[in-house]
Amino acid sequence: MSKPKVAFYWCASCGGCEEAIVDLAEEILQVVEAVEIAFWPVALDFKREDVERLADGELAAAFINGAIRTSEQVEMAHLLRAKARLLIAFGSCSHMGGVPGLANLFDREEILRYVYEEAPTVHNPQRVRPETRIEVDEGLLTLPAFDEAVRTLDQTVEVDYYLPGCPPPVGLIRSALQALLEGQLPPRGSVLAPDVALCAECPRKPTKPERLALKDLKRPHQVLIDPQTCLLAQGIICLGPATRSGCGAACIQGNMPCTGCLGPTSRVLDGGAKALSALASLLDATEEAEIERILEGIPDPVGLFYRYSLPASLLHRRAGNGRRVQEGRTR
Amino acid sequence: MSRREIVVDPITRLEGHGKIHIFLNEKGDVERAYLQVPELRGFEKFVVGRPAEEMPQITSRICGVCPTAHHMAATKALDDLYQVEPPPAAKKIRELIYCTFMVEDHALHFYFLGGPDFVVGPTAPRAERNILGVLARVGLEIGREVIGLRKQLRDLITRVGGKVIHPVFGLPGGIAKALTPEDREAFLAGADRAVEFALFSLKLFEDIVLRNPQYVEWIRSEAYTHRTYYMGLVDERNRVNFYDGWLRVVDPHGREFLKFPARDYLRHIAEHVEPWSYIKFCYLRDVGWKGFTDGPESGIYSVAPLARLNAAEGMATPRAQEAYEQFYATLGGKPVHHTLANHWARLIELLYAAERMQELARDPEILDPHVRNLPAAIPREGIGVVEAPRGTLIHHYETDERGIITRANLIVATQNNAARIAMSVDKAARSVIRGGVVDDGLLNLVEMAFRAYDPCHGCATHALPGQMPLLIRIYNPRGELVRELRRD
């Protein structure tokens, strides 16, 4: 029997998801033994044409990381969707939009203007901008255009599974590959990570009070963080209660709070809203002034609660900044 | 007029889709080759409104290959923003983590990406010009050592940083947790292994490259040479430092041209915009932008390993200093303008980083549990600098009195090199494409012109073995495809 074919592809990403695969270290050799990698631009020599030549459904699976911002990324997502029996959104950007999704708080024009005209080191009296078609002395050059906003993969094509995390923890990657090879996958649409909150696997769980009553919130730089005690009990916002487990509480092991990169559990529609409401119920205050004082500890609620998920959220983009992207979720 | 165009697209060892567009004249010689970078995510804009203390984690998402560099530059910008000095142990742990990162990152480039051009050879069968070819040449045992060493070092970063891809340890005035005696033992073991590995790698370079007169000739060839300014961080004795110091710039003759603290970067560094690339091209404000040309009249400068060695007067550790002296003795004194010498310079830096790991891990003060000083000042503006593997990296933030970002400016490593890389690709293409003759050798020779810099466009992923797939299409003046060259 021939080996199943898989593809890896990146869109608007940082390269961390590719490094996460490399961090399988010697295990990557076992992966190469078990599957045939038919496409992986970062590592192998196959081209888009090679993918186009495949029969529809010929790929057992395609893993796509990165968010969607350019027309080329849209085309590649559609192409791989057609060729793959299973499409897996790999990592926070593909899953929920990721950190670059915070760009949806700004217009495309605001971004271009700042980067090419207003940044303090820029010297650009002619206000030159990168253009999609440029006549130079020798001929015509082209550049890809950027869409108005960042989208998730499943706002672009239908997605079968999600491998969450920024980047996905090596353990989850290993389990997902095993499940795929053994045909032991959960129902389509599942997130391939434990469906319980991070607190369940947090080493500081024993120090989490039965009922939290926060009279004060601290930003991480304002206090010395005790390395043993539940961060919420220390008055530091930790998104562990509203975030999936599966990372081994990596950031908390680094003595810093969870920032929610694995996204919410399956019972939550909007992770940021859930985290916000969970937090509100923990505040030990009734007077408005007192509540306001406590909330000074959260100076950037959108950046805190939607750090990795703004494009996937019900907010999607900041209200009132022009056209809202019309494509809805296809699922 | 009869024209032909050669488009190299995609070049996949760059993050995103770098593209080389070559225009030929009627004789089939190169008129100009453009390296275009189609990357923009707008970090500088969308960090506005975020709390400053989140910058080390948010900006690390610029690059998942060198997240530690952005994390550290951001953390140092926070020290400056809050005017808070980290305790000595915190500084040493930061530098220890940083040197650990430099070793694993430089090792990745030499063995997986750049090295195959030399270890296997530019004229070797193309199917062998990759990590597998390197392993065939040096043995599988060495391959296991490369993978094993990288894993060990990356696990060390995880111990302190929580995660190796997007670590979390940096805070203004220190780090999030102290080093335990067990951690220190692990770092000592990793450092010793890294030094051995560095010495082996330099020996390998000597045996395979320096003993081959043809390779040395390539390194020295005019096709891969530009006489530019060079920039790098130096310590108080003008020796290379990755974590801190002054930015020193030497002119194309090797004379000190500038030496300034990162705080003054706006006075000396400016960015030029071209309509055909999303990357901005840095130049020295003091000299000015004179177009894509080298020499003392042009403000174009270079960063990364070769530039760092040129901009310094030596290395701060003994074995790296020996290697530094041999480097300049072999290549004819300072400065060295040969782009391909970056590969050798990178290994000398790898040795320095490994020796520095040993020094720091042996320092008893590194176990001091006092690793945070809490900020008290009202924040306003902060600037931080480090030497990323691919060159000088500057983060600059302005905030309101609550520490919320109101403006940010980032000078990212490869941006400093962007103009010189563009010239290098152009010059290599001009040198190797003559009379319209193009063959597979060309593909690798053009690639080598930018690969030596280890460019990180946007945030390149330099991951697994494999050649850069190249596709060259030649069109006639009517836009019809007349020839297609591809590397399969």
pLDDT digits (tens, 9 = 90+) for B387-437: 999 999 999 999 999 999 999 999 998 899 999 999 999 999 999 888 888
**SS3 (DSSP) at B367:** helix
Interface of A with B in 170-209 (CB under 8 A): none
Q: What is the pLDDT of residues B278-294, one digit of tens each?
A: 889 999 999 999 999 99
The more confidently predicted of residues A21 and B283 is B283
Q: Is the Cβ pair A105, B21 closer than 8 Å?
A: no
- pLDDT value at residue A327: 36
Residue pairs between chains A and B whose CB atoms are closer than 8 Å: 262
Segments in A183-318 forming alpha helices (H):
250-253, 271-280, 288-295, 301-305
Out of B49, B275, B467, name the one closest to residue A303 (CB): B49
* A148 contact B CB<8A: no
Distance CA B13, CA B139 (A): 24
Q: What residues in B contact A51, CB-CB < 8 Å?
A: none
- The least confident of B42-46, B105-109, B226-230, B467-471 is B467-471
- pLDDT value at residue A283: 85
The more confidently predicted of residues A230 and A181 is A230
Q: Can you state the percent helix, strand and coil of chain A, rounding each to 5?
A: 35, 15, 50
For residue B475, the cross-strand partners are B5, B481
- pLDDT value at residue B128: 67
- Min Cα distance A100 → chain B (Å) is 7
Mean pLDDT of A272-291: 85
Distance CA B81, CA B306 (A): 31
Could you give the count of Cα atoms lying within 13 Å of B401 in the half-sphere of its Cβ?
Answer: 0
- The least confident of A52-66, B68-82, B94-108, B441-455 is B441-455
In chain B, which residue's Cα lies nearest the Cα of A308?
A: B58
- pLDDT value at residue A12: 85
B252 dihedral zone (left: phi>0; alpha: psi -120 to 50; beta)? alpha
Q: Is the Cβ pair B15, A15 closer than 8 Å?
A: yes
Element (H, E) at B352: helix B342-362
**SS3 (DSSP) at B472:** strand
Q: Is the pLDDT of residue A251 over 70?
A: yes
Q: What is the pLDDT of residues B97-150, one digit of tens each?
A: 999 999 999 998 888 777 777 777 776 766 566 666 777 777 778 878 888 999
For the four alpha carbons of B57, B62, B64 and B68, in that order, the dihedral sign comes to negative
Q: What residues in B contact A143, CB-CB < 8 Å?
A: 36, 38, 276-278
Q: Is the pLDDT of residue A90 over 50?
A: yes
- pLDDT value at residue B53: 98
- Say what percent of chain A tops pLDDT 90: 63
At the topology level of CATH, where does B85-225+338-374 sit? Cytochrome-c3 Hydrogenase; chain B (1.10.645)
A155's tokens: 């706002």
Q: Is the Cβ pair B266, A105 closer than 8 Å?
A: no
Please name which of A262, A20, A312 lies closest in space to residue A159, comparing C-alpha atoms: A312
Mean pLDDT of A80-101: 97
pLDDT band at B438 (very low <50, low <70, confident <90, very high): confident
For residue A176, the cross-strand partners are none
pTM, two decimal places: 0.92
The residues, any chain, with a CB within 8 Å of residue B408's CB and separated by 6 or more, are B43, B44, B47, B48, B55, B395, B396, B397, B398
Distance CA B287, CA A176 (A): 55
Q: Is the Cβ pair A256, B46 closer than 8 Å?
A: no
- pLDDT value at residue A164: 98
Interface of A with B in 31-90 (CB under 8 A): 40-48, 69-70, 72
Q: Is the Cβ pair A129, B275 closer than 8 Å?
A: yes
Mean pLDDT of B74-93: 98
pLDDT band at B440 (very low <50, low <70, confident <90, very high): low
Distance CA A186, CA A188 (A): 6
Mean pLDDT of A86-113: 95
Q: Is the pLDDT of residue A287 over 50?
A: yes
Instruction: Name the range with the highest mean pLDDT among A49-53, A142-146, A155-159.
Output: A155-159
Instruction: Specify the amino acid at residue A250.
Output: A
Q: Is the pLDDT of residue A229 over 50?
A: yes
ipTM: 0.93
pLDDT band at B12 (very low <50, low <70, confident <90, very high): very low
Q: Is the pLDDT of residue A320 over 50?
A: no
**SS3 (DSSP) at B380:** coil
Q: What is the pLDDT of residues B192-236, one digit of tens each?
A: 999 999 999 999 899 888 998 988 888 999 999 999 999 999 999
The more confidently predicted of residues B472 and A172 is A172
Q: Is the Cβ pair A10, B15 closer than 8 Å?
A: yes
- pLDDT value at residue A285: 85
Q: What residues in A contact B176, CB-CB < 8 Å?
A: 220, 225, 254-256
- pLDDT value at residue A22: 82
- pLDDT value at residue A163: 97
Mean pLDDT of A203-224: 93
- Min Cα distance A116 → chain B (Å) is 7
In chain A, which residue's Cα lies nearest the Cα of B33?
A: A138
- pLDDT value at residue B456: 65
Mean pLDDT of B66-75: 97
Q: Is the Cβ pair B45, A41 closer than 8 Å?
A: no
Q: Where are the domains of chain B?
A: 4-39+422-486, 85-225+338-374
- pLDDT value at residue B132: 65
Q: Is the pLDDT of residue B447 over 90?
A: no
- Min Cα distance B78 → chain A (Å) is 10
Q: Is the pLDDT of residue B16 over 70?
A: no
Distance CA A265, CA A271 (A): 8
Q: What is the pLDDT of residues A197-212, one digit of tens each?
A: 999 999 999 999 888 8
What stretches of A156-260 adopt beta strand conformation (E)?
Answer: 161-163
- The least confident of A30-34, B32-36, B98-102, B131-135 is B131-135
Interface of A with B in 80-119 (CB under 8 A): 98-100, 102-103, 105-106, 110-112, 114-116, 119
Element (H, E) at B258: strand B256-260
Q: Is the pLDDT of residue B14 over 60?
A: no
- pLDDT value at residue B365: 98
Q: How far apart are the first and last CA of chain B?
A: 33
Q: How far is CA B408 from CA B37, B123, B316, in A?
A: 22, 46, 33
Q: What 8-state DSSP symbol labels residue A310?
A: T
B363's tokens: 């320092």
Q: Is the pLDDT of residue B473 over 70?
A: no
- pLDDT value at residue B472: 47
Distance CA A157, CA A169 (A): 24
- Min Cα distance B376 → chain A (Å) is 9
B381's tokens: 């503006």
Please name which of A218, A248, A249, A253 lies closest in space to residue A233, comparing C-alpha atoms: A218
- pLDDT value at residue A66: 94
Among B31, B41, B407, most A C-beta atoms within 10 A, so best to mutate, is B41
pLDDT band at A284 (very low <50, low <70, confident <90, very high): confident
- What average pLDDT is seen over chain A? 89
Where do the CATH 3.40.50.700 domains begin and end in chain A?
5-99+150-182
Mean pLDDT of A268-275: 85
Mean pLDDT of B285-311: 97
The residues, any chain, with a CB within 8 Å of residue A203's CB and separated by 6 or more, are A249, A252, A253
- pLDDT value at residue A317: 64
CATH dotted code for A5-99+150-182? 3.40.50.700
Distance CA A279, CA A173 (A): 31
